[in-house]
Amino acid sequence: MIYRMMIPHRWTRPEAIDVCLEALATGRVHGVSPNHDPDLLAWNSTFAQNGLGPHAMVRDWGLFEAHFVDRRCEFFMVQAHRMKKPPKWKRLLPHLEQYGLAPGAFTAPDHEYHRVVASDSEVCVDSTTGRVMKITVPATPPLPRTGAPLPRNLPRDIRAVATGPRSAWDRWLDRRPVTDWPSYPGLLSNLHRDHPAQRETWTAFGLWLLDRARAVWPADEWAWRWSRFVLDRPGTVPAGTVAPVCLAALPLTRAEAAELPRDWRGRTPSEIRNSRMTLALLRNAALDVPAPPVDPELAAWRPLMRGVG
């Protein structure tokens, strides 16, 4: 059942603009990330909870929403268009340029999209008014993007090679350019979605491809992509395998996490990126560890997790 109620905006205009800036620069709202515990988003606050079928829901605070699938928050959405007068994009730009800007992933008539590199947040701007309409904050940590278009035949090629003899996989990969690597995880997900009868085939090929990716991606990026792949496919690896891999690849130490500035404006682009990646890996590690027992290293991180992300 889908239900909805509107919530009065409780932010002053300066507060609402600060919400937009924090979401864009750091991927957080009031210091909370999509990768934090879902119950943290429900503590001491009033929201509407909208059911979207048996597995999805939205928690709505009026100015921003948290979108969940199976109780796992996938992204925040700052609904700036609900403000009486949404901020002008050009007014926000001077506060964001140090964090890096790139074209967004989407295109739409009468709108332009921009991505903040440090946080991977994306903003939708009304081309006519120049005002901010929406800000999307993904749970996915900031990952490198080539900007190159997807080769037209790559989806077909991956499907063909994955279903072919394993002895041909290395030869196929040797012929592919390095710029294809960021496209592989999404294409593997598409194969699982579009051809579920061959999931075992796609999983075997995906594990092989991710094993080769160790030599291509940075350690934290590889650990996040690998752990996300196997967690989305229960039974792929034994329980207890994911957490050690994620914890070994954290880009921040506990000491560094404890020293992160509490005010988001004091964080550098590299601190934002590493903080986002650290929390994303800790989240994957927590999803793997059965309780009890809890991994001692993961338990040691718990008092610090509120400040990262």
Please, what's the b/e burial string for 39-52 (b: 16 or more CB within 10 A of its CB; e: otherwise)? Answer: eebeeeeebeebee
Instruction: Return the beta strands (E) in the chain as ranges.
Output: 48-52, 56-60, 64-69, 72-78, 101-103, 111-116, 122-126, 132-138
Q: Is the pLDDT of residue 308 over 80?
A: yes
**β-bridge partners, 137:** 76
Query: What is the biggest distance separating any 2 CA atoms in the chain, rounded to whole angstroms?
Result: 63
Render pLDDT for 81-129 as a digit per residue (tens, 0 to 9): 998 899 999 999 999 999 998 888 777 789 999 999 999 999 999 999 9
Question: Which residue is associated with the tokens 């050009």?
Answer: 90
Render pLDDT for 163-180 as a digit per residue (tens, 0 to 9): 999 999 999 999 998 888
Please state, for a pLDDT cut of 70, what percent of the chain lies above it: 91
The pLDDT confidence band at residue 293, using thresholds 50, 70 and 90, is low
Render pLDDT for 228-286 as a digit per residue (tens, 0 to 9): 999 999 889 998 899 999 999 999 999 999 999 999 999 999 999 999 999 999 999 98
Say what the pLDDT of residue 126 is: 95
Alpha helices in 140-198 (DSSP H): 154-162, 169-175, 184-194
Say what the pLDDT of residue 108 is: 78
Q: Is the pLDDT of residue 8 over 60?
A: no
Render pLDDT for 48-72 as a digit per residue (tens, 0 to 9): 777 777 788 888 888 889 999 888 8
Q: Which amino acid is at 280?
A: A
Say what the pLDDT of residue 38 is: 67
Residue 265, C-beta contacts closer than 8 angstroms, at least 6 positions apart: 25
C-alpha 179/C-alpha 151 separation (Å) is 10
Say what the pLDDT of residue 54 is: 76
